Chains A and B, each alone.
Chain A
Amino acid sequence: MHSQSPSVGIVTPQIAHFDAPLTLKSGAVLDAYELVYETYGTLNADKTNAILVCHALSGNHHVAGFRSEQDKRPGWWDNMIGPGKPVDTDRFFVIGLNNLGGCHGSTGPSSLDPKTGKPYGKAFPIVTVEDWVETQARLADRLGIESFAAIMGGSLGGMQVLSWTILHPQRVKHGLVIASAPKLTAQNIAFNDVARQAILTDPDFHGGDFYAHDVVPKRGLRLARMLGHITYLSDDVMGEKFGRILKNDVFQFGYGVEFEVESYLRYQGDKFAASFDANTYLLMTKALDYFDPTHHHRVSLSEAMKPARADFLVLSFTSDWRFAPGRSREIVKALLDNNLNVSYAEITAAHGHDAFLMPDPHYHSLVRAYMSNVVRSLGI
Chain B
Amino acid sequence: MIARSDFAAIAQWVTPNAKVLDLGCGDGSLLKYLKEARGTHGYGIEIDDANILACVKKGVNVIQMDLETGLSGFEPQSFDFVILSQTLQAMRNIELVMKEILRVGRQGILTIPNFGYWRRRIQIIGGRMPVSEDLPYQWYDTPNIHLCTLGDFEAFCRGHGVRILDRQVMCKDEAVSFLPNLLGNLAVYRFERAG
Contacts and interface: CB of A to CB of B under 8 A. Distances in A.
Leading 7 A-B pairs by shortest Cβ distance? A333-B73, A369-B56, A369-B57, A344-B63, A373-B59, A345-B64, A346-B64
A342 B56 contact: no
A313 B55 CA distance: 12
Interface string A346-380: 10100000000000001001100110110011000
Interface in B64-96: 64-65, 73-75, 78
Interface of A: 313, 329, 332-333, 336-337, 339, 341-346, 348, 362, 365-366, 369-370, 372-373, 376-377
Given A313-B56, A339-B19, A348-B49, 16 more contacts: A329-B73, A332-B73, A333-B73, A336-B73, A337-B78, A342-B43, A343-B56, A345-B52, A346-B64, A365-B53, A366-B56, A369-B57, A370-B56, A372-B57, A373-B59, A376-B59
A343 B53 contact: no
Interface of B: 19, 41, 43, 49, 52-53, 55-57, 59-65, 73-75, 78
A342 B61 contact: yes
A342 B19 contact: no
Contacts, number: 55
* Interface residues of A, dominant DSSP: helix
11 contacts: A329-B65, A329-B73, A337-B75, A339-B41, A341-B61, A342-B63, A343-B62, A345-B52, A362-B49, A370-B56, A372-B57
Contacts of A369: 53, 56-57
Contacts of B62: 343-345
Contact of B43 (A313, A336, A346, A365): A336
Contacts of B78: 336-337
A373 B63 CA distance: 17
Contacts of A329: 65, 73
Contacts of B65: 329, 344, 346
User: Could you say which of A341, A344, A348, A377 has the most chain B C-beta atoms within 10 Å of its C-beta?
Assistant: A344
Given A313-B56, A366-B52, A370-B56, A343 B75 contact: no
B184 to A, nearest CB: 35
Nearest to B59: A373
Contacts of B57: 369, 372-373
B36 to A, nearest CB: 15
B48 to A, nearest CB: 11
A377 B56 CA distance: 13
A379 to B, nearest CB: 14
B61 A343 contact: yes
Nearest to A376: B59
